[in-house]
């Protein structure tokens, strides 16, 4: 799908605590499309996350990236210390509530009313991308990238197939937790794949960060994400 075949816009909708802002990218001519939620890194709703949304739109998805820092004034960070403060100021239950509101908003749109919904996210967003489908049965596929692994009690409630991407040299997410996730999928008979990318660090998918970006591995992870979404959201 060419660039001119998608449409993008900023939207706002009522959240539990404040108005939520979000970025939408969608196929320009489609009457209806499967939906995909893109959850930000700790930096906020920046251009990289918007670009991921546009990539999904070109694959035929109605993609929405909600601003999970809406409660904090819609801020976007470029400094790691500021990003850490913003992430620390977001309570997990508030982030989940705003994602639940986003699902409700998607269900109210004519293009996505009957659509299956997928979710992907990175870093902080990866944590939400694996947690939300443990709490919301409307999520039909999840592709979390190097996010925090929920407790097994939560993973037992996982309601959809997942693809989890992890860098071997990740200094934030512990390898033992990733192995626990792989074991939990088997123990609880949950469909999914956990992929460990050799030599990669946390954030390896982010092509705006030359210090960690790994193009070959990022391409593979993206292709696996699209395969998961196509199998569970399309048709």
Among candidate residues 67, 98, 134, 170, the one labeled active-site is 170
First CA to last CA across the chain, in angstroms?
A: 18
| Alpha carbon distance 104, 114 (integer Å) | 12
- Name the CATH superfamily, with its identifier, for domain 3-233: Alpha/Beta hydrolase fold, catalytic domain (3.40.50.1820)
To the query of whether residue 170 is one of the catalytic residues in this protein, the response is yes
Q: For 43, list phi and psi in degrees, rounded to 5.
A: -70, -30
Spans of the chain below 50 pLDDT = 1
Residue 196, number of CB atoms within 10 A of its CB: 15
Among candidate residues 98, 123, 134, 160, the one labeled active-site is 123
To the query of whether residue 123 is one of the catalytic residues in this protein, the response is yes
- Give the pLDDT of residue 4: 56
Please tell me whether the overall predicted TM-score, pTM, comes out greater than 0.85 for this model.
Answer: yes
């Amino acid at each position: 799908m060419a660039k001119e075949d998608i449409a993008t816009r900023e939207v706002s909708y009522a959240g539990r605590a404040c108005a939520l802002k979000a970025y939408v990218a969608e196929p320009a001519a489609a009457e209806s499309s499967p939906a995909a939620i893109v959850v930000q890194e700790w930096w906020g709703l920046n251009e990289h996350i918007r670009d991921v949304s546009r990539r999904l739109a070109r694959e035929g998805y109605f993609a929405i990236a909600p601003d999970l820092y809406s409660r904090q004034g819609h801020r976007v960070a470029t400094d790691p210390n500021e990003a850490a403060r913003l992430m620390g100021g977001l309570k997990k239950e508030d982030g989940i509530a705003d994602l639940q509101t986003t699902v409700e908003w998607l269900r109210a749109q004519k293009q996505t009313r009957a659509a299956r919904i997928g979710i992907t996210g990175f870093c902080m967003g990866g944590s939400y991308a694996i947690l939300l489908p443990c709490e919301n049965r409307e999520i039909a596929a999840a592709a979390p990238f190097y996010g925090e692994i929920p407790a097994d009690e939560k993973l037992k409630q996982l309601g959809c197939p997942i693809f989890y991407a992890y860098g071997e040299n990740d200094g934030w997410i512990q390898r033992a937790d990733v192995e626990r996730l792989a074991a939990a999928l088997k123990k609880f008979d949950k469909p999914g794949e956990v992929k460990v990318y050799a030599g990669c660090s946390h954030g390896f998918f982010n092509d705006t960060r030359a210090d960690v970006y790994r193009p070959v591995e990022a391409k593979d992870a993206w292709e696996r994400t699209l395969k998961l979404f196509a199998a569970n959201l399309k048709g």
